[in-house]
Amino acid sequence: MLYSGYPTMRFCLYLVLLFLTLSSEEQQDNDHEYYYRYTMEYYNNPTHVAPSCFEKGTCAVENYEKLCRTNPHKRITFLLWTRQNNFGASCPALLEKISNPCSPDYGKYLSFDEIRKLTYDKYAIKGIIKYLKSLGILDTDIVVAPNGEYIEVTASVSTIEKLFDTKMYDFRSDANGEIYTTSSSYTIPPEIQLLTQGATGTTTTTTSTTPPPPPRTPPAPPASPTPTPSVKRSVQVVEEVEERRNSDRSQNPGYTTPAVIRATYNVPNQDVYRDLVSQSVFATSAQSFLPDDLTLFQDRNSLPFNSVYNITGPNDPEVCSSDSAKCSEGNLDIQFIGSLARNAKTWFWSVPADLGFNPYLRWISDLVTDPNPPDVHVISYGNDEEFSDPTDIYRFNDELCKLGLRGITVVASSGDYGVAGLQCGNLNDPERCGFHPMFPAACPFLTSVGATMGPENNTDEISASFDSGSLATSGGGFSRIFSRPAWQNKAVKTYLEKHNDVKPETFAVHGRGYPDVAVLANNYEIIVNKEIWYVSGTSAAAPTFASLITLLNSYRVANGRPKLGFLNPLLYHYFYASKTPSFNDIVDGTNRCCSQREHLLGAACCPIGFRTAEGWDPVSGLGSLDYQRFKKFLDGI
């Protein structure tokens, strides 16, 4: 329901009439039908193949050596996603009603059991199980998800090869030497084709899931009071805590700390209501975090001690002693997601890296079966859309939609490699300096976060870019998989008609535009192995934005209002509805450049990219949020 106060229902009605193309039911229905039609085209395709770079050995970050056929007796666990009563057809429209602040159903989220009534397809499940048993798979090796989203199956390699008409091999990663079992393609058998919507766990449908560790500033910033690297540095970090507490913070120090973020975005320095809200960090690629480093970070930044509430999946702090990079992303995420939402219950939700099992689908398959998951989730990983099977991408987005129905927020980083994504860096190859949107950043049912810089150095906020002095460039662009959603239609059309100077035929002009918002992302000070590191990128911006949402959730729930849930319709509504300036508009910068990694390889910037502009743009989204202004606006919703 809409609460009394600003904005009023009359004002919401005015907006609906004024921006008809943005929110008319006809337009939304057309968008939902378009999405569903193309989703079903991929789901109904029985054969799915690995990205072309997998067999060619030309993937951007990691490649694999084919060894030999896998032992036929080896047992593998995989998922068969069910038809779910074709709920994907109606989920977007239902989510629109629940997440549109002008709707009378805003914030009326569904329970775990209510989702089951919509998705549990007993006829599809019965048919799939019957077919699996005909292949000799036992009841004990078949497990149905609580709400029927998928069937988990464990079988021998020989059975899997027969089931999916494929051949499985062992592959060795050239990045870490690990050996994985997978195949290059699979085909859903005709007996169950109309009952399923893809499989997960037997075939390489996505390549490397993350770029290298966050770009790191080699020397400490000149204004930093921190010591130079030395064997005694771990002791010095602890000794500096008291100095940091008593220092004058009236001038920002040249690097980003929780205090700098609070000052930049007008965020109060306060605890959340611990029993009312929760948040979680996604991790994969063998990333871990160090609890001792989290304690040092909190102490150094005068934050209350708050250990990680729950660790789901693998976390091996011991590996960090031999290779600090294996904790760089994990430490960054876990340290800064708690930087604004002080004392919040925080999960570290980790999934193993497995060449044959898309990590995002592995994570979300666990999440959708949890009756009480955390409220806010952040993903600081990604790869190019073209390096994942579209069926996997659609499946992930459909499950995001259902999480939104439950009032769960998912935030993702938009990438650190500008408009070219992970392909960035080969100036002699136009294909690798073009437009390569990121997955999952470009999924419509999550909030994508870009990167800014400036306030940490006491200058204006601009988009983060290598050619502006950052080690990362804000990712952004237009999805090739998803069409533009109704809630961002007006904002994106305005950019394309008034500000875009890139030839429309060179990118997916009708695709979902990303990012949605932006946050400081330059020279974040973190602690890794008791040493001070300075890292940059949207991997820093995303957990910071997630932390801000958790803080807002705490305020709302304590005052009897619903959690924010799926954010995007609200954010774009706020952009037009607020009587005062809503976002901090970012109007300086481009995303044509790469990041530190490409610079070290001899490349820095591509010839073309998008530029920032007044309003939404595919570099900084709608801009950055001022916490107090947004909080005041939310008081009327």
Residue 594: pLDDT band (50, 70, 90) is confident
Tokens of 7: 């904005």
Q: Say whether both 594 and 492 belong to one domain.
A: yes
Domain presence at residue 350: yes
Cross-strand bridge partners of residue 271: 342
What pLDDT, in 10s, does the model give residues 3-57? 223 333 333 433 333 333 333 444 444 555 545 445 556 567 888 887 777 777 7
Output 150 or 593, whichever has higher pLDDT. 150
Burial of 509 per CB tally in 10 Å (0-12, 13-18, 19+): middle
What pLDDT, in 10s, does the model give residues 132-175? 999 999 999 999 999 999 999 999 999 999 999 999 999 888 87
Examine the fold and report which residue of 148, 175, 200 is the final residue of a domain before the chain moves on. 200
Q: Does residue 64 contact residue 219 with C-beta atoms inside 8 Å?
A: no
Supply the CATH number for residue 371's domain: 3.40.50.200
Q: At what angle do helices 91-99 and 25-43 cross, to 10 degrees?
A: 140
Q: Say whether both 288 and 433 belong to one domain.
A: yes
| pLDDT given at position 430 | 55
Q: Say whether both 328 and 462 belong to one domain.
A: yes
Q: Say whether both 185 and 240 belong to one domain.
A: no
Cross-strand bridge partners of residue 324: none
User: Which domain covers residue 149, as residue numbers?
Assistant: 45-83+121-200
| pLDDT given at position 273 | 95
Mean pLDDT of all residues in 69-87: 95
Q: Say whether both 165 and 310 belong to one domain.
A: no
Q: Say whether both 396 and 522 belong to one domain.
A: yes
| pLDDT given at position 56 | 76
| pLDDT given at position 241 | 38
Q: Say whether both 410 and 491 belong to one domain.
A: yes
Res 109 pLDDT > 70:
yes
Examine the fold and report which residue of 153, 176, 200 is the final residue of a domain before the chain moves on. 200
Q: Say whether both 606 and 503 belong to one domain.
A: yes
Tokens of 572: 């774009």
> Any idea what the Cα angle at residue 204 is, between residues 199 and 210, rounded to 5°?
115
Mean pLDDT of all residues in 273-288: 95
> Any idea what the Cα angle at residue 583 is, between residues 582 and 587, rounded to 5°?
135
Q: Say whether both 51 and 192 belong to one domain.
A: yes
* Measured distance CA(12)–CA(577) in Å, rounded: 8
What pLDDT, in 10s, does the model give residues 235-254? 334 434 333 433 444 478 89
> Any idea what the Cα angle at residue 486 is, between residues 483 and 488, rounded to 5°?
90
Range in 167-176, 366-375, 621-630 the model is least confident about: 167-176
CA atoms within 13 A on the CB side of 572: 29
- Number of structural domains in the chain: 2
Calculate what percentage of the chain has a pLDDT beyond 90: 68
| pLDDT given at position 31 | 54
Domain presence at residue 104: no
Residue 121: pLDDT band (50, 70, 90) is very high
Domain presence at residue 50: yes
Res 633 pLDDT > 70:
yes
| pLDDT given at position 623 | 98
Examine the fold and report which residue of 142, 175, 200 is the final residue of a domain before the chain moves on. 200
* Measured distance CA(571)–CA(36) in Å, rounded: 24
| pLDDT given at position 363 | 96
Mean pLDDT of all residues in 527-541: 95
| pLDDT given at position 205 | 60
CA distance from start to end of the chain:
8
Res 414 pLDDT > 80:
yes
Q: Say whether both 384 and 520 belong to one domain.
A: yes
Range in 55-69, 437-451, 569-583 the model is least confident about: 55-69
Q: Say whether both 354 and 476 belong to one domain.
A: yes
Res 598 pLDDT > 90:
no
| pLDDT given at position 605 | 84
| pLDDT given at position 110 | 98
Range in 139-153, 245-259, 272-286, 309-323 the model is least confident about: 245-259
Domain presence at residue 525: yes
* Measured distance CA(204)–CA(92) in Å, rounded: 28
Q: Say whether both 579 and 451 belong to one domain.
A: yes
Range in 26-35, 122-131, 203-212, 461-470 the model is least confident about: 26-35
What pLDDT, in 10s, does the model give residues 441-496? 999 999 999 999 999 999 999 999 998 999 899 999 999 999 999 999 999 999 99
